[in-house]
């Protein structure tokens, strides 16, 4: 992804994200870019310095990654310790709880992408469980 600093003809500054540098030109030519403040379609790129990650930025990114991995591990641990594991009966059990046929409780288990899509289409909230942390022997 490429981030551009943009400005409209009313001098409103904002940014846009594009998959490739040619995407900005294509969207601008077709009038698809508009200012989020005034809806002007006269949008142009601003001059900006390239973002070059130095060692400090890489260190900060590693710290953020470690923090996120720890938080995901804590979420997984909490679910495993406090929710009922229902295995591949997850979709059926979630429907039963949603319909009030089974006591309301936290559950986790496995469901196919098709089952997850059907559950969400029916208004049943589901979320993926973070993956288990890699074993120390599996990490570089």
Secondary structure class of 3 (helix, strand, coil): strand
Same domain, 87 and 124: yes
Q: What are phi and psi of 69, to 5 degrees?
A: -60, -40
pLDDT tens-digit series, residues 14-60: 988 888 888 888 888 888 888 888 888 899 998 876 666 666 656 67
Owning domain of residue 32: 2-45
Same domain, 126 and 79: yes
Residue 93 lies in a domain: yes
User: Which stretch of 21-25, 53-57, 76-80, 111-115 has the lowest confidence by average pLDDT?
Assistant: 53-57
* Burial environment of residue 70 by CB neighbours within 10 A (0 to 12, 13 to 18, 19 or more): exposed
Residue 40 lies in a domain: yes
pTM of the model: 0.53
Residue 122 lies in a domain: yes
How far apart, in whole angstroms, are the C-alpha atoms of residue 90 and residue 103? 14
pLDDT of 136 higher than 60: yes
Residues near 134 by beta carbon (within 8 Å), at least 6 away in sequence: none
Give residue 56's pLDDT: 63
Same domain, 39 and 92: no
How far apart, in whole angstroms, are the C-alpha atoms of residue 94 and residue 124? 8
């Amino acid at each position: 992804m490429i981030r551009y600093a943009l400005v409209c003809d009313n001098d409103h500054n904002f940014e846009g994200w594009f998959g490739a540098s040619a995407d900005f030109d294509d969207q601008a030519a077709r009038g698809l870019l508009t200012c989020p403040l005034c809806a002007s379609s006269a949008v142009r790129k601003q001059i900006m310095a390239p973002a070059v990650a130095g060692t400090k930025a890489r260190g900060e990114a590693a710290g953020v990654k470690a923090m996120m991995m720890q938080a995901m591990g804590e979420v997984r641990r909490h679910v495993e310790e406090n929710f009922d594991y229902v295995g591949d009966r997850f979709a059926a059990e979630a429907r039963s709880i949603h319909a009030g046929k089974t006591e309301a409780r936290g559950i986790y288990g496995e469901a196919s992408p098709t089952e997850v899509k059907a559950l969400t289409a029916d208004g049943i909230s589901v979320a993926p469980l973070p993956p288990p942390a890699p074993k120390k022997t599996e990490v570089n």
